[in-house]
Structure 1
Amino acid sequence: MKFKVDGKEYPCCTSLTMKYIGGKWKSVILIHLKNGTLRYNEIRKLIPTVSERTLSLQLKQLEEDRLIERNVIPTDKPPLRVEYSMTDFGKTLIPLLVMISEWGEEAVKWDPKIEEIEE
């Protein structure tokens, strides 16, 4: 089966799935949101190696794909308080994200090229 999303074709279900979680940061963002709502700065602290621009773009893409929702909470003075959480659609990815994370833990045991580093 082939699929089309926003004019772009996907040759199979795997490529369609990767449209949603592919890339370096989308799955990392989602795995952090699986436990609940986070503010932008909380996500930045959890993923310190992502640039602000990239994080903003990835959050926007995840929101456009309806995997997360952005909630702006009005405040008396700037800056606005912005929170992100997974949508019901996004939550359907949690078992897959957990499996990917568990696979990564196993890969550390199998691939001698992987070096564990301390933070």
Structure 2
Amino acid sequence: MFTDPISGEKLTYDRTRYRPTQAQRDWVAIRFEDCIDPTCARPVTDTDIDHLDEWARDAGPTNEDNLHPLCDTGNRRKNLSRIHNQRQPDGTVSITTPTGYTVTTEAAPF
């Protein structure tokens, strides 16, 4: 189990809940400064916290490794096209388009 280093609140919920807790939202805000969509520069506070592996369609868990900030446009693009988002071992997210073009987010600042 992974917990918030300050509050001690649980950050890993697997399939027991859909909506991220405030502690999970805060953790995502620490790890990412803005939307992971490469065409967007919105700050994380102006994005939705989204599942990399969709909760309903892909049985994606609601935990710190499966959550990331994504704007409405990026979320629609991810859900309505064959764009594939994948978290890398270093915490970055690789976004691959159907044509094979891949962009990787910046690493966390810590």
TM-score tier by shorter-chain length is: under 0.3
Q: Which has the larger radius of gyration?
A: 1
TM-score (norm 2): 0.27
TM-score (norm 1): 0.26
Structure whose residues are more often helix by fraction: 1
